[in-house]
Amino acid sequence: MITVSTSNEAYHHGNLRDALLAAGLSALEGAEGKAPSLRELARAVGVSPTAVYRHFPDKHALDKALALEGLQLLGQEQAEAAAKVGGGSAGFAETGRAYVRFALAHPALFRLMFTQGEPIEHAGHADPARELLTANTRALAGDPEKAETLALQAWSIAHGLAMLMLDGRIPADDALIERMLDTRSLFPQSG
Amino acid sequence: MITVSTSNEAYHHGNLRDALLAAGLSALEGAEGKAPSLRELARAVGVSPTAVYRHFPDKHALDKALALEGLQLLGQEQAEAAAKVGGGSAGFAETGRAYVRFALAHPALFRLMFTQGEPIEHAGHADPARELLTANTRALAGDPEKAETLALQAWSIAHGLAMLMLDGRIPADDALIERMLDTRSLFPQSG
DNA sequence: GACCCTATGTTTACAGCGTTCACTTTAACC
DNA sequence: GGTTAAAGTGAACGCTGTAAACATAGGGTC
C-alpha cells in the first residue's frame, strides 16, 4: 500500500507523502512504538517540518492516513488468520483472536487507529476488518438484526479485551485471550 | 473526596493540591471536556505553572490523581445504579449500563482513567468499580474460575462498547446499549 | 518577641511541539 | 527556453512540560 523510492533524493517528486507514512508506520509498529510527532517524521525523512503541509493539511490528517494504513493491516491479518482455520464459525472466532493479537503487537498503532475522531474512510471502500465482521455474523446468524447485534457484541468484547490489556488492566496473556473469546460459551445461540 | 477552601487566597496553605484536582475534574467532566494542560490548571487556580511541582512530581502524577478521582466517581455511580434495581442479577446488568453511561457522560475523564499506564491504586483500598464487579460475579457463578472469566468478559464488553461509542465507531444510542448488554442472551449460563 | 527552617510559592529559561508566513527552488509545459 | 504551479526552506509565534535559582511566609524553638 505504501511505496517508497529507492533513490535517496528527489523527494521533490511525488513520494514525500508515502515516505512520511512509511516513517510513521515504522515509528508506530512494534511493542514499544509511540505516536511520532510531525517534526519527528519530517526529520526521519530528511525534510523541513513545513514540507509536510504540502501533503497533509495538518497533523490530524497525517494521523488519519496512518490510522487508515493500520486498519488495512488489521483487516489483512484477520483475513489470513481466518483463512488458516478454514473460515466458518472457527474462522469467526479466529478473527477475534487476531484482533486482540494485533492490538498487543502494535499498541501505539492500534490506539491511533481508534482515536481519530470520525471513523476513517478510504474514498469509497470501507474498513476491511469491519466488512469481514459483518460478513461473518451474517453467515452465522439467520436474522439480520440478530446478526448485527452479534457483530457489535463480538466487536465490543474483542475491542474491550484489547484495550484493557493494552492499558494494563488485564494481563496480556494468550491463554486468557483464548478463554475470554470462547464463542461457544459467549454466543451459544450461534454456531 | 476533594475539598476546596472558600477563601480566594491563602493557597499558601494546604489546599493547592485539592484545588488543582477540582479544576482538573471540572475541565474533564462534561461531554465536551478535554484533557487540561498543567499550565491551564495552574492558570485556573491562579498560581504559577511550577507551583504544581510542589504537589505532583510531574504531569503524569497529576493525571493519575485525576484518574483516581474518576474511578471513585464511576464506582459510586455504578453502586447507586445497582442499588436502585435491588442488586442481584438485575443489579449486575445495571452496573454494566452505568459503566457505559458514565463513559458517554464524561468522555475525557473516562479516557484519562484508562490511559495512565499502570492501573491506579489508592494507598491500600483498590478500584471500587472493580470490587463491585468481582463481588457480583462471585455471587452469580458458583465456580470461582467461572466467576473470574465472567467478570472479565462482562468488563470487556462494557469497556469495548464504551470505547467504540466514544470513538464514534458505534452510535452512542441508549437502546443499543440495552440490546448489547442483555445479560440473558450474553451469559446464559449465569443468572 | 526574635530567629531560623522548611514548605510553598515565583521568575526565568529551555527544548520540543504544531502551525503560519514569506520566500526559493525545481520540474513540467507551450 | 521562459513561465508557471507544485514542492520545498527558514524564521517566527504561542503553546507545552520541566528545571534551576530565588523569594516568602508560618510555625517551632530559644
The average confidence (pLDDT) of chain B is 89
Grid cell for residue A178 = 483464548
Among A102, A116, A99, CA closest to A62 = A116
In a domain, B2, yes or no: no
> Is B156's CB within 8 Å of A156's CB?
yes
Which nucleotides along chain C are within 7 A of a protein C-beta?
7-13, 16-22, 26-28
Torsion (CA) B132, A167, B181, A179 in degrees, nearest 10: -90
In a domain, B134, yes or no: yes
Low-confidence ranges of chain A (pLDDT < 70): 1-14, 120-126, 188-191
In a domain, B8, yes or no: no
Q: What is the pLDDT of residue A16?
A: 95
Q: What is the pLDDT of residue B2?
A: 64
Among A87, A107, A127, CA closest to A30 = A107
The residue type of A119 is P
Residues in chain A whose beta carbon is closer than 8 A to a beta carbon of chain B?
114-115, 117-119, 149, 152-153, 155-164, 167-170, 176, 179-180, 185-189
Q: What 3 state SS string does B23-68 have?
A: HHHHHHCCCCCCCCCHHHHHHHHCCCHHHHHHCCCCHHHHHHHHHH
In a domain, B5, yes or no: no
Average pLDDT over residues B53-63: 98
Q: What three-state secondary structure class fits A153? A: helix
3-state helix, strand, coil in chain B (%, to 5): 65, 0, 35
Q: What is the pLDDT of residue A88?
A: 86
In a domain, A11, yes or no: no
Q: What is the pLDDT of residue A142?
A: 80
Q: What is the pLDDT of residue A6?
A: 39
Which residue range forms the structural domain that includes residue A156? Answer: 63-186
Task: Render pLDDT for B114-155 as a digit per residue (tens, 0 to 9).
Answer: 999 877 666 555 688 999 999 999 998 879 999 999 999 999
Q: Please report which confidence band the pLDDT of residue B1 belongs to, taking 50, 70 and 90 as the band edges.
A: low
Task: Render pLDDT for B9-32 as a digit per residue (tens, 0 to 9).
Answer: 455 666 999 999 999 999 999 999
Report yes or no: A27 and A36 within 8 Å, Cβ to Cβ. Answer: yes
In a domain, A111, yes or no: yes
Residues in chain B whose beta carbon is closer than 8 A to a beta carbon of chain A?
114-119, 149, 152-153, 155-164, 167-170, 176, 179-180, 185-186, 188-189
The residue type of B16 is L
CATH code, domain carrying B48: 1.10.357.10
Task: Render pLDDT for A17-30 as a digit per residue (tens, 0 to 9).
Answer: 999 999 999 999 99
CB distance under 7 Å to strand C: residues: A 10, 12-13, 37-40, 49-50, 53, 58-60; B 11-14, 16, 46-51, 54-55
- Say how many C-beta atoms besides its own lie within 10 A of residue B60's C-beta: 11
The reply to whether A51 has its C-beta less than 7 Å from any atom of strand D is yes
- Count of domains for chain B: 1
Q: What percent of chain B has pLDDT over 90?
A: 75
- If residue B111 lies in a helix (H) or strand (E), which one and from where to where? helix B107-113
In a domain, A83, yes or no: yes
